[in-house]
């Protein structure tokens, strides 16, 4: 009887023109979301490729100048000299001989590579720069730079798959399920159907299962299609593991909205009231609560503004200009093991010393910025359980690779790499060791060390677990309410 009912419900549903339209709209939304995410990712990757090409060309030029110079010197049987630092090439000795110059001019572009499903979510990647030039000059400016974008577009947000899943999918689900029982009741067919040997629970189950199976199947198919079209590194298990978590979370989120609809239907109100309750729930869970939590987090733990950074940098810059000898002493003190016999107050040493002073001055602000961001994130994490949309957003950001945690990891690695870079060139610079062209292959190289996908899953577990707990509670509440359902109007 149940399978017959399920078949009947599915057939009726499939033949409903409105349902076909909803599926079509869902497919269109997913296609647009995947395309927009892919286009955004392509734009960022193009930006990074320009930086890489520039850096490669600059380094190749330094090296080829140096190679020619080495050949010339070898032919004459002379010693390799070290060029004084200069913005442009001056004199016969090339800048490539000076490790201090090379450390500034031959930037290494530290790149945060996209995950296999990063095109699924833009997150904050439209603002946070995923390619940072690392030189011996300070990192402050490079890390404060943000990706370019029209502020109007940033305010409106991207039409990516995360938006489709979190915002639009619930609307489609509610549109096909808000009147599952109420419409039967209003048409007067509910009592007739239940005159058969069939419980209300089974009737409701057949209605929701028929809808859910189709919608979940379509989502899975569309998600898979998106992966094949805009996904990258499809040969990597990491990509498929991330996609698996993405799909599981998306399906659970969809089930939440189906169950909410079942619960509201079980209240026994008319279709219009169901519609209003569910639209209100959507507004509250998807729009209002996430906004309030976000505003609460940024109000309670405000991060230092860009203006604070600029002011601190300027003050430190002015101070170091005035006391450049003090900064130079500090610089030599910091590198005491490599201090040259004759301390030189040349332009590059003084500049390095001043740069270090500015970096030291803004370091506490960076630390505060990070600390406030972590507190904001912790607050959102604590309050995520009040809205499945927040839980879902956290999972999607994490699994697609646009989470704050992954970006912090990238910045930490960039900062550690910069120290390695500075150390490599500073030792040679201070000990007045001329750079040789062969050494260009030995420069430190940045390689982002991705965290294992198991770490991402572990971080997502509270959010996914939260959704599951809500599903269980909501399912139980729906069943209990359904038992008290009045089939006939009093």
Partner 1 sequence: MRLARASGCFSLSYLAYGVIFLFVTLGVSAVAGSPRTALIALVGFWAFSAFIMPKAAAEISKIVTPTAALGEFDARLQETRRTGFGGPTPRERLAEYRQSLLDQYQVADVADLPVYWVALSMQRLEEMDHEFFDHYYKGLDNSYLEQRRLQDALGVLAPTLPLSSISMGLSGTDLLHQRDFVNAAEETRRAMVDKVNAYLAEMAASFNANLREGATTDIESNDRVLVADEAVFQMVDPVRYSPPTLNTVLGEYRMAFLVLALWIIVALIFARIAVGRIGIQTR
Closest separation in Å from C-beta 184 to partner 1: 13
Stretch that binds partner 1, among 265-273, 312-320, 377-385, 476-484 (CB under 8 A): 265-273
Smallest distance, partner 1 to C-beta of residue 51, A = 4
28 binds partner 1 (CB under 8 A): no
Closest to 250 measured CA to CA, from 288, 222, 291: 222
Query: In this structure, are strands 131-134 and 108-111 parallel, antiparallel, or unpaired?
Result: antiparallel
- Number of residues in contact with partner 1, rule: CB under 8 A? 50
Residue 410 within binding range of partner 1, rule CB under 8 A: no
Q: At what angle do helices 388-400 and 404-430 cross, to 10 degrees?
A: 40
453 contacts 378 by C-beta, under 8 angstroms: no
Interaction of residue 48 with partner 1, rule CB under 8 A: yes
Looking at the Cβ atoms of 327 and 398, the one nearer to partner 1 is 327
156 is a site residue for partner 1 (CB under 8 A): yes
Residues 6 or more apart in contact with residue 339 via CB below 8 angstroms: 332, 430
3-state secondary structure of 110: strand
23 counts as binding partner 1 under rule CB under 8 A: no
Question: Residue 54 interacts with partner 1 (CB under 8 A)?
Answer: yes
58 vs 368, beta carbon nearer partner 1: 58
Q: Is 444 a residue that touches partner 1 (CB under 8 A)?
A: no
Helix, coil or strand: residue 109: strand
Choose which of 13, 31, 168, 455 interacts with partner 1 (CB under 8 A): 168
From 35-43, 205-213, 374-382, 464-472, give the range in contact with partner 1 by CB under 8 A. Answer: 35-43
CB of 29 to partner 1, least distance (A): 8
- The Cα-based distances of 462 to 167, 246, 440, 459, 467 in angstroms read 21, 15, 47, 7, 9
Does 179 engage in binding with partner 1 (CB under 8 A)?
A: yes
- Is residue 192 near partner 1 by the rule CB under 8 A? no
Determine if 100 is a binding residue for partner 1 (CB under 8 A): no
Per-residue binding letters, 300-339, with partner 1 (x by CB under 8 A): ------------------------xx--------------
Binds partner 1 by CB under 8 A, chosen from 4, 14, 20, 53 = 53
- CA-CA distance, 45 to 42, in Å (whole number)? 5
Which residue of 203, 204, 245, 350 would you call a contact of partner 1, by CB under 8 A? 350
Interacting span for partner 1 (CB under 8 A) from 112-120, 165-173, 363-371, 422-430: 165-173
Q: Mind giving me the DSSP string for 73-106?
A: HHHHTPPPP-PPP-SS--SSS-GGG-HHHHHHHS
Which one, of 181, 167, 255, lies nearest residue 470 by Cα? 255
As a residue count, the chain comes to 490
- Does 149 help bind partner 1 (rule: CB under 8 A)? yes
With CB under 8 A as the contact rule, the residue among 131, 243, 285, 366 that binds partner 1 is: 131
List 158, 388, 401, 434, residue binding partner 1 (CB under 8 A): 158
d(CA 172, CA 70): 70
Q: What is d(CA 137, CA 2) in angstroms, rounded to the nearest whole number?
A: 72
The residue within the footprint of partner 1, chosen from 84, 198, 281, 487 (CB under 8 A), is 84
CA trace torsion 479, 481, 487, 488 (10° rounding) = 170
Q: Which of 284, 264, 260 is closest to 173 using CA atoms?
A: 260
For residue 466, give both structure tokens. Answer: 């939260």
d(CA 225, CA 230): 9
Contact residues: partner 1, CB under 8 A: 32, 36, 39, 43-44, 46-51, 53-54, 84, 88, 129, 131, 145-153, 156-159, 163, 167-168, 171, 175, 179, 270-272, 275-276, 279, 287, 324-325, 344-347, 350
């Amino acid at each position: 009887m149940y399978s017959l009912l399920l078949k009947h419900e599915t057939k009726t549903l499939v033949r409903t023109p409105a349902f076909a339209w909803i599926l079509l709209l869902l497919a269109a939304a997913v296609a647009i979301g995947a395309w927009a995410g892919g286009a955004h990712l392509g734009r960022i990757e193009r930006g990074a490729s320009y930086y890489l090409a520039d850096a490669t060309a600059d380094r190749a030029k330094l090296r080829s100048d140096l190679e020619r110079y080495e050949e010339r010197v070898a032919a004459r049987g002379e010693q390799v000299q070290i060029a004084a630092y200069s913005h442009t090439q001056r004199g016969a000795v090339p800048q490539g001989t000076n490790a201090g110059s090379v450390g500034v001019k031959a930037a290494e572009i530290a790149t945060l590579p996209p995950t296999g499903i990063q095109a699924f979510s833009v997150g904050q990647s439209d603002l946070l720069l995923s390619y940072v030039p690392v030189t011996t000059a300070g990192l402050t400016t490079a890390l404060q730079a943000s990706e370019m974008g029209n502020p109007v577009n940033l305010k409106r947000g991207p039409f990516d798959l995360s938006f489709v899943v979190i915002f639009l999918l619930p609307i489609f689900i509610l549109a096909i399920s808000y009147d599952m029982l109420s419409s039967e009741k209003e048409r007067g067919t509910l009592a007739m159907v239940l005159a058969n040997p069939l419980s209300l629970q089974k009737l409701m189950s057949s209605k929701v299962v028929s809808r859910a199976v189709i919608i979940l199947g379509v989502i899975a198919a569309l998600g898979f299609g998106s992966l094949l079209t805009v996904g990258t590194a499809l040969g990597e298990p990491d990509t498929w593991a991330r996609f698996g978590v993405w799909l599981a979370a998306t399906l659970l989120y969809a089930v939440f909205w189906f169950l909410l609809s079942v619960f509201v239907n079980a209240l026994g109100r008319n279709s219009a009231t169901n519609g209003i309750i569910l639209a209100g729930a959507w507004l509250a869970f998807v729009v209002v609560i996430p906004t309030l939590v976000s505003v609460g987090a940024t109000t309670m733990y405000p991060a230092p503004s860009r203006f604070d950074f600029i002011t601190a940098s300027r003050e430190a810059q002015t101070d170091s200009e005035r006391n450049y000898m003090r900064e130079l002493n500090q610089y030599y003190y910091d590198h005491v093991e490599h201090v040259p016999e004759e301390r030189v107050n040349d332009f590059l040493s003084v500049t390095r010393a001043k740069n270090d002073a500015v970096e030291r001055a803004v370091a506490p602000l960076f630390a505060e910025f990070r600390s406030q961001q972590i507190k904001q994130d912790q607050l959102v994490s604590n309050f995520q359980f009040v809205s499945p949309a927040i839980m879902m957003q956290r999972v999607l950001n994490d699994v697609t690779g646009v989470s704050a945690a992954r970006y912090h990891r990238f910045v930490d690695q960039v900062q550690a790499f910069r120290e390695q870079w500075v150390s490599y060139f500073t030792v040679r610079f201070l000990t007045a060791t001329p750079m040789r062209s062969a050494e260009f292959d030995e420069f430190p190289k940045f390689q982002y060390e991705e965290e294992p996908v198991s770490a991402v899953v572990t971080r997502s577990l509270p959010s996914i677990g939260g959704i599951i707990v809500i599903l269980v509670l909501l399912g139980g509440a729906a069943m209990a309410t359904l038992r008290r359902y009045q089939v006939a109007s009093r």
